[in-house]
Amino acid sequence: MNTGSFTSKLDAMIGWARKFSIFQYPFVTACCGMEYMATACSHYDVDRFGAGLPRFSPRQSDVLFVVGTISHKIAPVLKQIYDQMADPKWVVAFGVCTCTGGFYDNYATVQGIDTIIPVDVYIPGCPPRPENVLDGLIKLQEKIQKQKQE
Protein backbone atom coordinates (compact mmCIF):
# COMPACT_ATOMS: atom_id res chain seq x y z
CA MET A 1 0.00 0.00 0.00
CA ASN A 2 1.27 3.45 -0.91
CA THR A 3 1.06 5.58 2.25
CA GLY A 4 2.19 8.73 0.41
CA SER A 5 -1.12 8.84 -1.40
CA PHE A 6 -3.04 8.59 1.87
CA THR A 7 -1.12 11.41 3.60
CA SER A 8 -1.42 13.70 0.60
CA LYS A 9 -5.21 13.18 0.57
CA LEU A 10 -5.29 13.80 4.33
CA ASP A 11 -3.25 17.00 3.87
CA ALA A 12 -5.69 18.17 1.20
CA MET A 13 -8.67 17.44 3.46
CA ILE A 14 -7.14 19.26 6.44
CA GLY A 15 -6.21 22.20 4.20
CA TRP A 16 -9.76 22.38 2.87
CA ALA A 17 -11.18 22.31 6.42
CA ARG A 18 -8.82 25.04 7.64
CA LYS A 19 -9.57 27.13 4.56
CA PHE A 20 -13.26 27.35 5.46
CA SER A 21 -12.93 27.66 9.24
CA ILE A 22 -11.03 30.90 9.74
CA PHE A 23 -11.25 32.23 13.27
CA GLN A 24 -10.07 35.80 13.05
CA TYR A 25 -8.84 38.13 15.73
CA PRO A 26 -9.50 41.73 14.67
CA PHE A 27 -6.85 44.13 15.99
CA VAL A 28 -8.57 47.37 14.95
CA THR A 29 -6.87 50.67 15.75
CA ALA A 30 -8.08 53.23 13.21
CA CYS A 31 -10.50 54.26 10.47
CA CYS A 32 -10.09 51.06 8.42
CA GLY A 33 -12.31 49.44 11.04
CA MET A 34 -15.41 50.72 9.23
CA GLU A 35 -14.45 48.91 6.02
CA TYR A 36 -13.56 45.83 8.04
CA MET A 37 -17.05 45.86 9.57
CA ALA A 38 -18.64 46.44 6.15
CA THR A 39 -17.36 43.05 4.95
CA ALA A 40 -19.46 41.34 7.61
CA CYS A 41 -22.66 43.04 6.44
CA SER A 42 -25.16 41.23 4.27
CA HIS A 43 -24.05 42.88 1.01
CA TYR A 44 -20.55 41.36 1.19
CA ASP A 45 -21.13 38.58 3.75
CA VAL A 46 -17.68 37.37 4.76
CA ASP A 47 -19.43 34.45 6.50
CA ARG A 48 -19.81 32.60 3.20
CA PHE A 49 -16.01 32.29 3.18
CA GLY A 50 -15.98 30.66 6.60
CA ALA A 51 -14.60 33.73 8.36
CA GLY A 52 -17.72 35.32 9.80
CA LEU A 53 -17.30 34.85 13.52
CA PRO A 54 -14.47 36.93 15.01
CA ARG A 55 -12.81 35.70 18.18
CA PHE A 56 -11.58 38.21 20.72
CA SER A 57 -9.16 35.86 22.37
CA PRO A 58 -5.82 35.16 20.66
CA ARG A 59 -5.85 31.59 21.98
CA GLN A 60 -9.05 30.87 20.02
CA SER A 61 -7.91 32.57 16.79
CA ASP A 62 -5.79 31.48 13.88
CA VAL A 63 -5.82 34.63 11.72
CA LEU A 64 -4.76 38.03 13.04
CA PHE A 65 -6.38 40.89 11.11
CA VAL A 66 -4.31 44.00 11.85
CA VAL A 67 -6.56 46.89 10.83
CA GLY A 68 -5.27 50.46 10.94
CA THR A 69 -2.30 52.48 12.10
CA ILE A 70 0.14 50.82 14.49
CA SER A 71 2.16 53.14 16.70
CA HIS A 72 5.40 52.11 18.39
CA LYS A 73 3.54 52.40 21.70
CA ILE A 74 0.98 49.70 20.75
CA ALA A 75 3.49 47.49 18.85
CA PRO A 76 4.49 45.39 21.92
CA VAL A 77 0.80 44.60 22.51
CA LEU A 78 0.43 43.45 18.91
CA LYS A 79 3.54 41.25 19.24
CA GLN A 80 2.21 39.74 22.48
CA ILE A 81 -1.15 38.92 20.88
CA TYR A 82 0.64 37.29 17.93
CA ASP A 83 2.82 35.24 20.31
CA GLN A 84 -0.26 34.03 22.24
CA MET A 85 -1.91 32.62 19.11
CA ALA A 86 -1.60 28.86 18.59
CA ASP A 87 0.09 27.43 15.50
CA PRO A 88 -0.74 27.41 12.66
CA LYS A 89 -1.41 31.13 12.53
CA TRP A 90 -1.63 33.72 9.78
CA VAL A 91 -1.52 37.52 9.66
CA VAL A 92 -3.38 39.91 7.36
CA ALA A 93 -2.19 43.53 7.06
CA PHE A 94 -5.31 45.58 6.36
CA GLY A 95 -4.93 49.07 4.90
CA VAL A 96 -2.01 51.16 3.74
CA CYS A 97 -1.15 52.39 7.25
CA THR A 98 -0.74 48.82 8.44
CA CYS A 99 1.18 47.72 5.35
CA THR A 100 3.63 50.65 5.06
CA GLY A 101 2.84 53.31 7.64
CA GLY A 102 0.74 55.20 5.10
CA PHE A 103 1.08 58.95 5.11
CA TYR A 104 2.35 58.84 8.72
CA ASP A 105 6.07 59.18 8.01
CA ASN A 106 7.09 60.03 11.56
CA TYR A 107 8.87 58.62 14.60
CA ALA A 108 5.68 57.43 16.32
CA THR A 109 4.25 55.15 13.60
CA VAL A 110 5.46 51.68 12.65
CA GLN A 111 6.39 51.74 8.95
CA GLY A 112 4.80 48.37 8.16
CA ILE A 113 3.88 45.66 10.65
CA ASP A 114 6.16 43.19 8.88
CA THR A 115 8.94 44.79 10.95
CA ILE A 116 7.22 43.35 14.06
CA ILE A 117 5.46 40.15 12.96
CA PRO A 118 5.42 38.11 9.74
CA VAL A 119 2.61 39.01 7.32
CA ASP A 120 0.91 36.50 5.00
CA VAL A 121 -1.45 38.76 3.03
CA TYR A 122 -1.37 42.50 2.39
CA ILE A 123 -4.62 44.33 1.62
CA PRO A 124 -3.69 47.83 0.38
CA GLY A 125 -5.95 50.85 0.21
CA CYS A 126 -6.96 53.84 2.27
CA PRO A 127 -9.31 52.38 3.31
CA PRO A 128 -9.47 49.19 1.27
CA ARG A 129 -12.81 48.49 -0.37
CA PRO A 130 -14.73 45.47 0.92
CA GLU A 131 -14.13 43.80 -2.46
CA ASN A 132 -10.37 44.10 -1.84
CA VAL A 133 -10.82 42.62 1.61
CA LEU A 134 -12.67 39.63 0.19
CA ASP A 135 -9.94 39.24 -2.46
CA GLY A 136 -7.32 39.23 0.29
CA LEU A 137 -9.32 36.66 2.22
CA ILE A 138 -9.53 34.42 -0.86
CA LYS A 139 -5.74 34.73 -1.32
CA LEU A 140 -5.27 33.75 2.33
CA GLN A 141 -7.57 30.75 1.87
CA GLU A 142 -5.53 29.61 -1.14
CA LYS A 143 -2.34 29.93 0.90
CA ILE A 144 -3.84 27.98 3.80
CA GLN A 145 -5.06 25.17 1.54
CA LYS A 146 -1.73 24.79 -0.32
CA GLN A 147 0.33 24.85 2.88
CA LYS A 148 1.78 21.57 4.15
CA GLN A 149 -0.32 20.55 7.13
CA GLU A 150 1.37 19.78 10.44
Vertex 21: Cα angle to 15 and 24 (nearest 5): 120
Q: What is the pLDDT of residues 93-125, one digit of tens each?
A: 988 888 888 888 888 889 989 999 999 999 988
Domains and CATH numbers, the chain: 24-136 (3.40.50.12280)
CA distances (Å), origin 122, targets 3, 11, 109: 37, 26, 18
- Residue 71 is classified by DSSP as B
pTM, two decimals, is 0.82
Tell me what pLDDT residue 92 has: 92
Nearest CA to 95 out of 24, 28, 19, 4 is that of 28
**Whether the Cβ atoms of residue 17 and residue 88 lie closer than 8 Å to each other:** no
User: For residue 100, what pLDDT is reported?
Assistant: 86
Q: Which residues of the chain have pLDDT under 70?
A: 1-8, 15, 17-20, 47, 50-51, 149-150
Q: Could you tell me the CA-to-CA distances from 144 to 3, 121, 149 in Å, in that order?
A: 23, 11, 9
